[in-house]
Structure 1
Amino acid sequence: MIDQDDSLTGNGLKKYFLGKNLKKDLPAGLVVFLVALPLCLGIALASGAPLFSGILSGIIGGIVVASFSGSQLSVSGPAAGLTVIVLTAITDLGAFDAFLLAVFIAGIFQVILGILKAGTIGNYFPNSVIIGMLAAIGIILILKQLPHAVGYDADFEGDQNFAQPDSENTFSAIISAFSKFNYGAVIISVVSMAVLILWPKVKKLAIIPAPLIVVALGILLATAFQGTAYSLSGDHLVQIPVVESLTDFKGLFLFPDFSQFLNPKIWTVAITIAIVASLETLLSLEAVDKIDPIKRVSPTNRELIAQGIGNSIAGLVGGLPMTAVIVRSSANVNSGGRTKMSAIFHGVFLMLSVLLLPSLINQIPLSCLAAILLMVGYKLAKFSLFTKMWKDGKDQFIPFMVTVLAVVFTDLLIGVSIGLAVGIIFLLRTNYRNPYFYTIDRSQGNNFIRIKLAQEVSFLNKGTIQYTLTNLPTGKTVIIDGTDSLFIDRDVLDAIFDFQENAYTKNIKVELVNIKRSYELPKLKDLIIKPIEENV
């Protein structure tokens, strides 16, 4: 239940929110930690980077980025959408320390983008595309976690692309999984799903987060299965670096090679990371605001600055580039997170897992974590969402479905780009149809036609207005009324005044109401191109 007071904002309420929501943010942070841990490791593995670099980015994303961010529910960390870029960049640059310099510079670029207010681009993503992206992520989570749920862990955790590096795709991987599944992993995932569904329904037990029970049961079952036909191998378990001494801990950190500062390849990689990471962050931020129960709006420019600070620090200490990540963020929302403290807690848990509990963490089966992600996917892609979008009309449903299919069969950025293109087509179509109200003013006889312009008339409306004016019947008096218009684009004004000047040829009388030209047209003599005189 959401209290009405939770919608309040302001610095004076920070202590109020922390105390009131601690009992929700702490368990949510634990759930996000359980989700983020294998994702951080899997993305680092797929990127060709040290495993610790993925966890380090998760820690920085949780503690540093969340502290500077204005978003209450967004969670940052290494992103699957950057794996190909990272892998290619490390290969091209020839060394991981050179790549770290590019990450550091990318972070500075993001801070600059935030200062320049580039985050406002996030306000122009259509709702149907954002909702489609969320549904697609839910479907991808279900499809990608099915192999892990049955003990087939060939693909890295966090993979979201349809095409796989091993020449398989999402569907062929599922087929392969069901021919090579591990019975122990299947039992653990089925028990985990049952706990996730039934545990929250018992009010007296719900105080303990269901995912925590799932992890505990997963460890117990994996231990019990040792030495039997159901035993799990190391590939079926979480694998984080084990730190046994202070020297080992220091050795996990890597530092950028500043001697490569003038290398043009470094700057190319940095700009690429800054742009792609910023776009993915803005998409995720918009999406998480959609599923925020309190419907808060996150400041996009501040988020770019926070991401830039996080990436700069990651580059300095050996972390992967990060973005706001919708999988972790949606897990945060679905687990009841209320404020940014849940993201900070998840970062603290990641740090403690490496320092204090690596041996215990390495006993967690991936199949029980897959069950948690399957539940997150189900909540994002419920059938009721599809029926609701269908009822909202084809202008919403078609861009929504195109986005869903495009994201599932390509990747996040390509899929959203395709959905955005379709959404823009429908937006243009809507603008083309609705720039004015067309009525016959019968109070003055059938010979009077009144065209009342809308509040905002942009250049997108020029075509439909021009078409209407061209096809008006002859012998009429046409009243074009701009009383309600706050803005009329210059191109539209030109079309209206051109029509007024030439309407007499069709025996049409034109009256303009509250429409004035606020600029002067160039004189005809200024448009004549004079021949260039050549000196002989």
Structure 2
Amino acid sequence: MNQTTTPVHAGLPGGDVPQGTPAGFRRYLRHDLASGFLVFLIALPLCLGISLASGFPPVAGVFTAIVGAIVTTFLSNSELTIKGPAAGLIVIALGAMHSFGFDAGLPLDAPGNVAAYRMTLAVGCAAGLLQVGFGLLRVGALSEFFPTAVVHGMLAAIGFIICLKQLPVVFGQKAAGEPLEILRELPEKIAHLNPQITVIGLVSLGILFGFPLVRPLLRPAWLRMLPAQLLVLALAVPLGMWFDLAHDHTYSFLGHEYKVGAAFLVSVPANLAAAVTTPDFGVFTTASTRLAGAWWVVMFALVGSVESLLSAKAIDLLDPWKRKTDMNRDLLAVGVANVAAAAVGGLPMISEIVRSKANIDNGARTRFADLWHGLFLLAFVALVPWAIHRIPLAALAAMLVYTGFRLASPREFINVFKIGSEQLLIFVATIVGVLATDLLVGVGIGIGLKFLIHAINGVPLRSFFKPFLKVTTIDDRTVQIDAGGSAVFSNWIPFRRQIVQLGLGQGHDVIVNLAGARVVDSSVMEKLEDLGHDFEQAGLALRVIGLDSHRGSTAHPHATRRRMMTRLRRLTVVAEAGLEPRIVERFRDLGASGYTAMPCHGSGRSHPGAAGEPLVRIEAIVPAAVAEQILDAIQGEFAPLGRITVCTEMVEVLRPERF
């Protein structure tokens, strides 16, 4: 990983690095306003759909995006991330709702469901405060602990759960129960589908999956900028009006009667203020809900923080100007915004990767694009709430199915397998664990399997959590860190801290020598590469050496590497000293890359009185084929000339390329 230093904003507009300052607000208004509007078009249906899938009122997701956009714009220094509700937190939000008595078979405004909603809001507030604490304590490195395969497995499992819970809605049915239970019931629900609702759902899915395929062919170019979600609404809303979903009625199809009506449309209050809901902090004082409340606080805070930090880090890598987010500051900002959002009835939020990527693609320059997207959402729900009521639930469900599919797509399995079969095993184990139990247990299963694999591969127990590092100063500008024991995900945080302190903290180029590490796992390989980008942005270099004797599980640059011993043959020849030049020359001719010669003396059965004669001992380590050729040469050329003894043995060497 040799890093070279280049201007990170070379060739970009103006050559200046845009900043979210008052001057930046004025200078980049055109770019940020346009991107904010386009992101708003994507965010509106997703906010509604994620909120409904979480058991919250639809407008709760919009509240979250509005509050997040306004609060984090001024507290975080992340220039291109979009804050809002995310599909990755649906499982946790819905799990909390169910643990407090939510019943998906009842209307959202049923007393029991409203009570569960208010208790979950209290959990959101407490989780936000915990995230604020994380930010103040500077634990933004928390995201560095989790193995990559486990994180991807968790997200893929969430994708499966979203698909399973939303597919019945696409067909005009409802889903309730655990994921595997829904999977068993899915064929029956499809068999009893509602035809009109299914038409809306399938047309929506067709657009979402098909539009990316035809997007490059569209002319004029501005058509390629249209979000697929906007096209879904452009067709689904007229279909809903054609089927007259705003009025309850029945219709006949193939001899069967079906009911449709306003229940299949998004429900929003006419007055935005009426939708504001306050938390019920009694969840933490009531004996029957106290433990569950604490559990979900931890789940929201941990999973939400990890997802948000990973998303912000990914967006930093995509930022055309390579600006660096202060992860602790961003985590604090998200925590404050989560407290504010939950206080008025909103969902938990994170730095959302899909909308953030769209923000970059739309040409945003500063964090004010996030602010504009929130203000557009606020204006829409405040001025035209009746338009939201025209959106069919099946269309929103289709968007979530598409989102879930992208989280758990076959490409994810292929990409993980390319890194290594053991990574695929961890990935699949995490998915199965989450589906069969819950999110935290599934993640624990994945991490536990990762530890087991490392133990089997020979990682010393003492180096699971403690890296053994030796620091050497090469010159005024460069330091070298020699790693011993192992370099694995569980000891990466202190390892990273040392690299960052010596490099980015003190302005040194850093050489990381992994020759002494028995195992270097895939998470460390990936994170070293990411850290190399940070060094490059700072005008420094991070170089990784010492992997010549390690063998990767695959050819992928992030594959786990194990230090391997290669079997070769050691050839030992004891002969009269005068034969040394000819024997050495023959060794060289037949392929020995080197040798060791030393004077010796001794006697044997065939020459018992020859202890005083000068002898030479010549050793060479060579591949087996070369050893056989040398033996044949000695047998045919040198044995008749004088005293000579030859023996071979199998040896293991660390760096076979040197022999």
TM-score of the pair, normalised by structure 1: 0.65
Corresponding residue for residue 554 of structure 2: none
Structure 1 range deviating more: 13-22 or 379-388: 13-22
Corresponding residue for residue 613 of structure 2: none
Q: Could you give the per-residue CA deviations for residues 485-512 of structure 1, whole angstroms, max 9, x where no partner exists? A: 9999xxxxxxxxxxxxxxxxxxxxxxxx
1:171 CA drift (Å):
0.2
Counterpart CA distance in 1 for 2:81 and 2:45 is 16
Counterpart CA distance in 2 for 1:382 and 1:4 is 35
Q: Paired residues, what number?
A: 428
1:181 CA drift (Å):
0.9
Contact 2:313/2:325 (8 A) holds in 1: no
Counterpart CA distance in 1 for 2:279 and 2:417 is 51
For 2:444, which of 397, 408, 417 is the aligned residue?
417
CA RMSD between the two structures: 4.5
Corresponding residue for residue 230 of structure 2: 212
Corresponding residue for residue 357 of structure 2: 333
For 1:242, which of 270, 277, 293 is the aligned residue?
270
1:264 CA drift (Å):
8.5
Secondary structure at the aligned position of 1:363 is classed as: coil
Counterpart CA distance in 2 for 1:215 and 1:138 is 22
Contact 1:100/1:315 (8 A) holds in 2: yes
Larger proportion of helix = 1
Corresponding position: 1:118 with 2:139: yes
Corresponding position: 1:186 with 2:198: yes
Corresponding residue for residue 68 of structure 1: 75
1:169 CA drift (Å):
2.2
Contact 1:130/1:287 (8 A) holds in 2: no
Corresponding position: 1:37 with 2:48: yes
Which of structures 1 and 2 has the larger relative contact order (alpha carbons within 8 angstroms, sep 6+)? Answer: 1
**In the TM superposition, what are the counterparts of 1:361-440 in structure 2 within 5 Å?**
361-429=388-456, 432=459
Structure 1 range deviating more: 74-83 or 185-194: 74-83
Contact 1:195/1:210 (8 A) holds in 2: yes
Secondary structure at the aligned position of 1:178 is classed as: helix
Q: Could you give the per-residue CA deviations for residues 396-442 of structure 1, whole angstroms, max 9, x where no partner exists? A: 22212222333344443332232222233334555717999xxxxxx
For 2:85, which of 77, 85, 99 is the aligned residue?
77
Corresponding position: 1:149 with 2:170: yes
Contact 2:58/2:267 (8 A) holds in 1: no
Secondary structure at the aligned position of 2:276 is classed as: coil
**In the TM superposition, what are the counterparts of 1:426-465 in structure 2 within 5 Å?**
426-429=453-456, 432=459, 455-457=482-484
Counterpart CA distance in 1 for 2:124 and 2:398 is 33
Counterpart CA distance in 2 for 1:298 and 1:404 is 30
Q: Could you give the per-residue CA deviations for residues 318-354 of structure 1, whole angstroms, max 9, x where no partner exists? A: 32561427xx643553684666556545544543343
Structure 1 residues 117 and 173, CA, compared in 2 at 3 Å: closer, same or farther?
A: farther
Counterpart CA distance in 1 for 2:228 and 2:513 is 56
Counterpart CA distance in 1 for 2:367 and 2:458 is 39
For 1:284, which of 290, 307, 330 is the aligned residue?
307
Counterpart CA distance in 1 for 2:312 and 2:122 is 32
1:184 CA drift (Å):
1.2
Contact 1:62/1:346 (8 A) holds in 2: yes
Corresponding residue for residue 241 of structure 2: 223
Q: Could you give the per-residue CA deviations for residues 255-288 of structure 1, whole angstroms, max 9, x where no partner exists? A: 5689x79958798777545432221123312543
Counterpart CA distance in 2 for 1:170 and 1:334 is 32
Give unpaired runs (5+ residues) of structure 2.
Answer: 1-8, 102-111, 254-258, 464-480, 489-511, 518-659
Q: Which amino acid in the other structure matches residue 395 of structure 1?
A: E
Structure 1 residues 393 and 358, CA, compared in 2 at 3 Å: closer, same or farther?
A: same
For 1:253, which of 262, 272, 276 is the aligned residue?
276
TM-score of the pair, normalised by structure 2: 0.54
Q: Which amino acid in the other structure matches residue 318 of structure 2?
A: I
Secondary structure at the aligned position of 2:172 is classed as: coil
Larger proportion of strand = 2
Secondary structure at the aligned position of 2:459 is classed as: helix
Counterpart CA distance in 1 for 2:390 and 2:337 is 30
Q: Which of the two has higher C-alpha Rg?
A: 2
Secondary structure at the aligned position of 1:456 is classed as: strand
Contact 1:149/1:368 (8 A) holds in 2: yes
